[in-house]
Structure 1
Amino acid sequence: MAADQGLPNTVDNHDFPPKTPTPFPSDVPPTITPTLLRRDVIPTTTPVIVPTRIVPELLTEGNYENWSTCVGWYLVGQDLWEVCQTQHNIPNEAQDPEAFSVWMKKNAMALHAIQISCSREMLSQIRGIKFANLAWDFLRLIAYPTLGFDTEKQPDAPAPAGNADFSRYEKFEQALMDRGSWNDIESFLNSNPDAVRARISPTGLTTLHAAALAGHVKVVEKLVDKLNPEDLEQKEDLQGCTPLALAASDGITEIAQSMIRKNRKLANILDGHKILPVVIACNRGKREMTRFLYFHTGPEELAPEKGKNGATLLSLCIYTKFLDIALDILEKHPSLAVTLDIYGDIPLHALGQTPSLFKSGSQLWFWQRWTYLCVTVNIDRASDWVRVNVGDDNAHSRDLRNNIETVVYQLMHGLVSYPLKLLGIKSIRAQKLRHAQAVKLLQGICTEIRNLKSDGVLGYRVHQAVIQAVKQGNVEFVTRMIKSIPELVWNGDIYNRNIFSIAILNRQEKIFNLLHGLTNVKKMKVTSASDGFGNNMLHLAAMLAPSDQLDGISGAALQMQRELQWFKEVESIVPPIYKDAKNLDRKKPSEVFSQQHANLVKEGEKWMKEIATSSSFVAALIVTIMFAAAFTIPGGNNDKGAPIFLDDPLFMVFIISDSISLFSATTSVLMFLGILTSQYAENKFLTRLPTKLILGLSALFISIAAMMIAFCAALAILLNKSSTKVVMIPIILLACVPVTLFALLQFPLLVNIFISTYGPGIFDRNIQRWY
């Protein structure tokens, strides 16, 4: 269903040819978008690889090259490749119904061949696509995010090999790619002068392409000196990349500098898919390369009128957190904030999808929060780095490096920088600077949105960006956008759910807490809303939380407790009549909660019983040991039965610690026994069961610590002579090991349970009026 919402349903409407050759309409962003830097993603689970008669293994995230070759040649052999190349020149059904029927049949056959060659995960992303060429382009875009959709050129389309003989360049290419020895390369070029400009591989790589791809800086510099400026503009055949575009992907700035010095226009040359080198570098996350190429890319090349490079670069700078460049782009071209990029999204969407760019999305310990408040940042000075720190020529910077004053300055800077980095102050300052830049970027976007003429398309894009930000819990983004466009509070999604309903469904408490910053009238209006399925806010709170939210909570019992806390909190703010209201499925909120959390209750019961069983075994063992130790006191008894070391202060330490350990272990056993025999009803997970677990774990920790103290006291009594005192220190240190291990392994769980049960909670009703 999601894919159908983002794709043109031209098959049903018989609207041929479509108005635009792109797979998504220009006025509605797609629902499904390929992940950025998807080729770097490693799947968390091993996919099931099943061969078919078309491909030896189904398409996954890591085998696109082999898959596309097999499927491509299959489609060529079945005379179906034409429908995967373009959707132009589709026969008109009214004028030529027979030709239209033939084309539709071929499209269905090609689409079916692609679908049955995909794994389940890949098929789920294209199952709503009704054109073979769109499915082919979409899968290619997942494998190569930088390419974009381009029906004019298919980089993975099977093509017959040329007749050129590249065997004589084989050793030369190997020397370029592997060793990078300039003496060997120069020797070959002296005997073959034309090789410096010749294409040396079937994919159209030139000598400079190969050297840039291998990352040999010295070789590239020597080759550039031998070439003319226009020679650097040659493109290889596979992706249509210049040598600079290949260097941009690897991020070796020195290579790019040598090429730019030779030809100033290189940074403005598009590859075969109309992508600028700076976009490629940013997509690969190469910070220094992105800065350098951005400085040398003409500002007009990033304008919205020139294509999607500007919006794509702005989006990628936000995702990769190159916010100084993003601010400079937005300053030159403000309208890029709401311009579609090659992924079908707007940069505003990228900013909303990245809550870590804002303070609320960063987790800081209490000492880090103090440091955060104390450090100061300068946004303007950081943004000037884009223009000042990257120059036209590298010669000036080399002169500076050789300058004694510069060396002394760098040394002094290092003496200050390294301690700051060691204490974490440097990273916190960088984090605060990033937060300030994100806020400034968002302010600039909001200003541009207010200045633009409002229309349905722009409103839809902005609203979708806000909804995605709500799902991510990006509270600064949401509040700033709502202040700029107040009606966003009332606008609903396709299911008629407002932002607070979406926050409840996605368990984003920071967004939900904003509800308490509304006036009572507006708050009543928001809490009284129902979605398209008749669900009120309490129904949504009764639904199971998303898996990514539950995974952040340790233990199924604590996950169940958090779900109960959400349900109780929402129950306290909705009108009383809504507590027993029924949705379109004729179910009350409590019934929905019981149904959707049945498995979580069972998992919580299993989790608590496993902890109680293992911990009670340890506690029972301690009870046995400490009970026996109380009657086998160190040193023995005298003739009257009294302990020999009764007057020794260490003996009293032994007795007291032994008693504490025994009583604590006994208490722990009883508490864990209570957990094992408890009734595991839903409401018991709120406070009763967690309280028992807190008491049991706390008593067990005290028991282990007291047992180690009793052991050390007994040894101190027996080894009280001066000659044996030196043995006591290592023994006491070793006795601290089990206590420390228990504290490291179990104490965090104990703290989490205590805070979750008796802490301040995740909900804040003291939100100031903000709307």
Structure 2
Amino acid sequence: MALSLLDKYPRLATTENEKGLTALQVLLWMRKRTRVLQSEKTTEAMFRAAKSGNIMVLKFIFNYNPNLFMEVNPQGQNLLHITISNRQISVFRLILHKGAYKNMLVLHVDREGYNILHLAGMLAAEERFGSPIHQFLIHSEELWFREVEKIVPPIYKTMENEKLMTPKKVFYMEHKELSEKAITELKGIASNFLVVAALLVSIGMSALLTIKTNNTSGKHLIFEENIWYIIFLLSVGVGVSLCVVSMHCFTSVILPSSWSPNITCVNSSLARITFGYLFIYASIGILGIFSTISGVILVYTFLPNWIFYVIVACCGISTAMFYVFLYCSLLLTVRLTLALCQKYGVMMLTKLGFEISWEPFFLD
């Protein structure tokens, strides 16, 4: 375009305005300014995408200009700082696959002396979780901190910010109140489930002691009477045993293992109460289906078979509805159990000299 203008108007190359600039110099300055404005808008869009976890926009920007990786906001924070502050796991994993760019982002420190591990130790914004369950949230926060800790140089783990606080000190100070709430919450849940477990144990023992016994082996519904006795005794025995184990788990949470709430105490209580959940859920399923059905068949032998079919259906439906209504709680319990098993499994395998890399659990 500049060449065509020069061909038509040769004087543009020498004519100057009041600032001493030629027309071509003004045109060049306007193009540079447009590029700067476009770059600033793109950088702002990149930071917003990182904050909201918009992977599609970030991939497009990275393909357009990978150098935008190194841009910082007015607080001196780069893309990785913003990602970690907002707990955007998908963006975090995307950055980890960027090789040399990732290494440079990890080493960056913002204007207040915070490295990425300091920011991982900050408490996440509450609006990310809605109405959080504190014990799950604090466990997810600790896993997030440990995951970020894996990618920082050793010296960054003890680096102090402008407030003379190391990343671990930031983490414990930020999560102190959450830790206290989690301990109180865990003790309340354990007390409630302890009552349920005690009730199940008393019902199971009462049924075990009051069921009639005889030496006959007549034919009953599906199985012989002796088989139903075996099913009843085994189901009650296993169900009551699981309840007793869950009671021990809940009791250990209620009794103080530490005089001051801390992250280790929370995680220990969380592990015990999680396994207590699993044991009592399994006990309800066993006692609700196998013990109830076998007990009814052994007591009411004089009734027609169709009544037993109705009872079997009712027991199955009621137990299934129990698990359906608790679907979210069960799903979170299973995920948390897997995370705890993964955590302790990795610790044991690491001590044995094995290097295992598993994808961590986070509370999204």
Bin of the TM-score, shorter chain as denominator length: 0.7 to 0.9
Q: RMSD of aligned C-alpha atoms?
A: 2.6
Identity across the alignment (%): 23
- Corresponding residue for residue 486 of structure 1: 66
Equivalent residue in structure 1 for 2:185, among 604, 607, 617: 607
Question: Is 1:564 aligned to 2:129, yes or no?
Answer: no
The equivalent residue for 2:301 is 720
Q: Which is further off, 754-763 or 555-564?
A: 754-763
TM-score in terms of structure 2 length: 0.77
Counterpart residue number, 2:44: 464
The one-letter code matched in structure 2 to 1:669 is M
Question: Given the alignment, which residue of 160, 167, 176 partners 1:582?
Answer: 160
Alignment correspondent of 1:735: 315
Q: Shift in Å at residue 741 of structure 1? A: 3.7
TM-aligned CA deviation for residue 452 of structure 1 = 9.9
Q: 1:691 to 1:746 in 2, by over 3 A?
A: farther
**1:527 counterpart = 2:106:** yes
- Measured in 2, the distance between the counterparts of 1:461 and 1:649 equals 75
Summarize the alignment of residues 171-210 of structure 1 with structure 2, pairs less than 5 Å apart. none
Q: Give the counterpart of 1:516 among 96, 112, 122.
A: 96
Quick one: which of 122, 130, 137 aligns to 1:543? 122
Q: Which runs of 5+ in 1 are unaligned?
A: 1-450, 765-771
**Whose relative contact order is higher, 1 or 2, with alpha carbons under 8 Å and at least 6 apart?**
2
Q: Deviations over 1:177-231 (max 9, x none)?
A: xxxxxxxxxxxxxxxxxxxxxxxxxxxxxxxxxxxxxxxxxxxxxxxxxxxxxxx
Distance 1:462 1:689 in 2: 46
Following superposition of structure 1 onto structure 2, how do residues 741-760 of structure 1 map, counting pairs within 5 Å?
741-759=321-339
Counterpart Cα distance in 2 of 1:622 and 1:644: 29
1:468–1:605 Cα change, 3 Å: same
Mapped partners of 1:464, 1:675: distance in 2: 47
Q: Which has the larger radius of gyration?
A: 1
Deviation at 1:660, TM superposition (A): 1.1
2-structure distance, mates of 1:741, 1:610: 25
Q: How does 1:591-606 map to 2 (within 5 A)?
A: 591-606=169-184
> Aligned residues, how many?
305
Residues 646-678 of structure 1: CA deviation (Å, up to 9, x unaligned): 953212111111111111111111111122224
Q: Does the 8 Å contact 2:246/2:277 carry over to 1?
A: yes
1:501 aligns with 2:81: yes
Q: Distance in 2 between matches of 1:508 and 1:622?
A: 43
Given that 1:529 and 1:536 are in contact with CA atoms closer than 8 Å, whether structure 2 keeps it comes out as yes
Change (3 A) 1:757 1:717: closer
Deviations 1:394-452 (A, max 9, x none): xxxxxxxxxxxxxxxxxxxxxxxxxxxxxxxxxxxxxxxxxxxxxxxxxxxxxxxxx99
Change (3 A) 1:605 1:763: closer
**Larger helix fraction of residues:** 2
8 Å contact from structure 2 (residues 211, 299) kept in 1: no
Q: Tell me, which stretches of 5 or more residues in structure 2 are unaligned?
A: 1-30, 219-223, 340-357
Distance in 1 between residues matched to 2:327 and 2:240, nearest whole Å = 20
**Counterpart Cα distance in 2 of 1:720 and 1:630:** 17
Q: Is residue 2:275 matched to residue 1:695?
A: yes
* Structure 1 residue 499, shift from structure 2 partner: 0.7
TM-score by length of 1: 0.37
Q: Read off the aligned partner of 1:537 and give its amino acid letter.
A: I
Per-residue CA deviations over 1:682-721 (Å, capped at 9, x if unaligned) read: 03445x3333223211111121122122121111123334
SS at structure 1 position matched to 2:304: helix
Per-residue CA shift, 1:599-647, capped at 9, x if unaligned?
211221122222211111111111111112222123x45xxxx688895
Amino acid in structure 2 at the alignment position of 1:621: L
Q: In the alignment, is residue 655 of structure 1 matched against residue 233 of structure 2? A: yes
Letter in 2 for 1:719: Y
Q: Distance in 2 between matches of 1:462 and 1:578?
A: 30
